[in-house]
Amino acid sequence: MRRPDPTIGFINLGHVLVHLFMLIFPTAVLALERDWNTPYSQLLSLALGGLIAYGGGSLPAGWLGDRWSRRGMMVIFFFGTGLAAIATGFAQGPTGIFVGLTAIGLFASIYHPVGIALLVRNQAKLGKTLGINGVFGNFGIASAALITGALCDGVGWRAAFFVPGAVAVIAGLFFLMTVRATVEAPLTETRTAGALPRSLLLRVGLVLFVATICDSVIFNATTIAMPKVFSEHLAAFTESTLGIGALLSIVYVLAAMAQLLVGQLIDRHGVGRMFLPVAALQVPLLIVAAMSPGIFILPIAVALMFSVFGLIPILDAMVAVIVDERWRARVYAVSYVLSFGASPLAVPLIAYTHDAANGFSSLFLALAVIGMGTVASALFLPQRALMRA
């Protein structure tokens, strides 16, 4: 009997880890804010290098994945992120934190262009596959807040980097031992980009360009700011980092179902038909979030993150539908360079719009304006270019 290929299991595990690593600091910063007696906005700026590396590293990672080895790049991903996180846990001051977070971002940049290209290879049910993978990624987002909060309160902020780092290194060892070169076996799929007219390809590319940038800023601003949003809105219910992390985890787990649902709807109705309604949902929810007091932020946050997460498999599916597999890691890389390149804008946007008296109202309103850009791009999408989805 043929043994099952463990590759997809490791790719899904990698999606958990990459989002966990990138969101350790937004929760750990709450503990550092108390321990170091340093303002939140000043500490949050230490994450900027990691976000820039997360975007900038995607292009060479995708190129190496296509030209060298996707398996080899995933090995580097597991070991690199794990060891960088452990090194960050030994940091003695802001400079060490900055360098460590930058290294985490650089190695984490490997995952999306390489891992997603491996994931969508030869998949009959593209939407379902991306949806399931998205749920794993959202579990990483949810567990980041909970695990980081628990380790910060129970052991200390350094453990919040040590423990996930060790898990990634162990996962890398198992990946190296169990996933063989068969992961890059010959193709059976026939999807090619050449079947589409050049004008349609350019139009879809423009849609992806605008939507990717807008959605990236919204995604990063909401996930980075949400721990602080909860600490301000829910101070009457919990003031501990663990309590805030637990509430965030509940929100993210509930919202994670969006990617599974949207993935199934993509397979049933096509990616083009799903784009506009999911994009349009974000704008009113961001406006309502700006006006939500106290505990009312909880249900609004669930609905908001549901719409934010739901766009991710839609944009990934568009690339898988229109791009030939031989180029797919590089095209994903360009897409993620745009995405992660826009990500650092979230940090100064949060710091600039956050007001001690009014909290994050201005941030949510600014994100609603950005969300209108995603809606505009969805309206411009040529439906017949994606009929094969």
Q: Which of 104-113, 184-193, 270-279, 298-307 has the lowest mean pLDDT?
A: 184-193
Q: Is the pLDDT of residue 186 over 50?
A: no
DSSP class of residue 196 equals S
Q: What number of other Cβ atoms are within 10 A of residue 86's Cβ?
A: 19
CA–CA gap between residue 99 and residue 105 (Å, rounded) = 10
For the beta carbon of residue 45, count every other beta carbon within 10 angstroms.
Answer: 15
- Residue 185 predicted with pLDDT over 50: no
Closest CA to 28 of 168, 216, 228: 228
Whose tokens are 């590759």? That residue is: 7
The answer on pLDDT for 283 being more than 80 is: yes
| Domain enclosing residue 55, as ranges | 7-386
Q: Which amino acid is at 108?
A: A
Q: How confident is the model at residue 83 (pLDDT cuts 50, 70, 90)?
A: very high
For residues 118, 121, 126, 130, the Cα torsion angle rounded to the nearest 10 degrees is 0
pLDDT at res. 193 = 44
The CATH number of whichever domain residue 108 belongs to comes to: 1.20.1250.20
- Give the model confidence (pLDDT) of 211-240 as tens digits: 888 988 998 898 888 888 888 887 767 667
Of 187 and 108, the structure prediction assigns the larger pLDDT to: 108
Give the per-residue pLDDT at 1. Answer: 42
- For residue 2, being part of any structural domain is answered with no
Q: Is the pLDDT of residue 5 over 70?
A: no
Average pLDDT, the chain: 82
Instruction: Identify the band that residue 327 occupies on the pLDDT scale cut at 50, 70 and 90.
Output: low
Mean pLDDT of 11-39: 89
Which of 101-105, 133-137, 189-193 shows the lowest per-residue confidence on average (mean pLDDT)? 189-193
Answer whether residue 1 is part of any domain: no
Q: Calculate mean pLDDT across residues 342-354.
A: 80
Residue 188 has a pLDDT of: 45
SS3 readout for 311-330: HHHHHHHHHHHHCCHHHHHH
| Per-residue confidence (pLDDT) for residue 161, from 0 to 100 | 95
Q: How far apart are CA 12 and CA 179, in angstroms?
A: 14
pLDDT digits (tens, 9 = 90+) for 231-278: 888 776 766 777 877 888 888 888 878 878 888 888 887 777 888 888
- Whether 332 maps to a domain, the answer reads yes
Asked if residues 149 and 69 have their Cβ atoms less than 8 Å apart, the reply is no
Q: Has residue 205 got a pLDDT over 60?
A: yes
Using a pLDDT cut of 70, give the percent of the chain over it.
Answer: 85
Tell me what pLDDT residue 239 has.
66
Number of domains in the chain: 1
Q: What would the 3-class secondary structure string for the chain be?
A: CCCCCCHHHHHHHHHHHHHHHHCHHHHHHHHHHHHCCCCHHHHHHHHHHHHHHHHHCHHHHHHHHHHCCHHHHHHHHHHHHHHHHHHHHCCCCHHHHHHHHHHHHHHHCCHHHHHHHHHCCCCCCHHHHHHHHHHHHHHHHHHHHHHHHHHHHHCCCCHHHHHHHHHHHHHHHHHHHHCCHHHHCCCCCCCCHHHCCHHHHHHHHHHHHHHHHHHHHHHHHHHHHHHHHHHHHCCCCCCCHHHHHHHHHHHHHHHHHHHHHHHHHHHHHCHHHHHHHHHHHHHHHHHHHHHCCHHHHHHHHHHHHHHHHHHHHHHHHHHHHHCCHHHHHHHHHHHHHHHHHHHHHHHHHHHHHCECCCECHHHHHHHHHHHHHHHHHHHCCCHHHHCCC
What is the residue-wise DSSP string for 133-180?
Answer: HHHHHHHHHHHHHHHHHHHHHHT-TTHHHHHHHHHHHHHHHHHHHH--
Residue 331 lies in a domain: yes
The burial of 197, by beta-carbon neighbours within 10 Å (0-12 exposed, 13-18 middle, 19 or more buried), is given as exposed
Between 4 and 365, residue with greater pLDDT: 365
Q: Which of 1-5, 125-129, 223-227, 362-366 has the lowest mean pLDDT?
A: 1-5
The tens digit of pLDDT for each residue in 146-170 reads 888 889 888 999 999 999 999 999 9
Compute φ and ψ for 359, nearest 5 degrees: 65, -130
| Predicted local confidence at residue 366, as pLDDT | 92
pTM of structure: 0.72
